[in-house]
Amino acid sequence: MVDVETARRALRCLDLTDLTDNCTDRAIDALCEKARDPRGPVAAVCIWPQFVTRARDALRGSPVRVATVANFPTGAEDIARVMDDVKEALSDGANEIDLVLPYDAVRRGDLESATEMVAVVREIADQGRLLKVILETGELVDPALIETASRLSIDAGADFIKTSTGKSPVSATPEGAEIMLNVIKASARPVGFKPSGDIRTSEDAAFYIALADRIMGAGWATPKTFRIGASSVYDALIATIEGRTGPTSAGTY
């Protein structure tokens, strides 16, 4: 059973997400209203680039940040296109970029291409704007590849490393998360961690907080260093805070 304080802590670390294919302006308005709930607020909303301006306006005056995705979800290798997309998103008001690493390049051993993309986006996303690099650990599979992808992302300037897009058959896993956290610890850099996908219950959220605290130190998991990428877990956390039974059914990422 998850206690109320842990649920509150998870809520404050939440990147409340709507990356559904049929997302609408109305859905973004509802997402931003949830994000500002006084029981949180959440750390950020994570949305498609075309909704950044709307979310920016809806969240004006609140501490909730606007995150958007780049190179999502395929992890392609067209650096020029990614550069253009990131520049436009930042111009629209995004505070954070969740960039999908070219994970196929990592799988075939082309670490230079993967590193270059992270480094280029890092250079563009400056002035206090966060860069979260999505490794897509469910596609990398091999622990050695997850470790390599984590290390090269950190070395190229990632502020966070993130498990998954939520669009692949396998998203966040305890095994992948542990590898990533251990690479962060070994890096001795202030890099954050974001599990995403398949996190639906308060118990799921509490598990990853506990894992992060165990590896990185008690109390490490705060919005500055730890995010949870999810949509349906919001309702479960609110239910826990209110002393109700949280929803357990899957939501759409």
Catalytic residue annotation: 98, 162, 194
189 CB-side CA count, 13 A: 18
What's the rounded Cα separation, in Å, for the pair 99 and 125?
11
- CA dist list (Å): 208 to 35, 64, 172, 225, 230: 21, 22, 10, 13, 13
Structure tokens at 72: 């999502």
DSSP 3-state assignment of 134? strand
What's the rounded Cα separation, in Å, for the pair 12 and 182?
23
What's the rounded Cα separation, in Å, for the pair 98 and 73?
10
Q: Which regions of 43-137 does DSSP assign to beta strands (E)? A: 44-47, 65-70, 96-100, 130-134
What's the rounded Cα separation, in Å, for the pair 82 and 100?
10
> Cα(first)–Cα(last) distance of the chain, in Å?
24
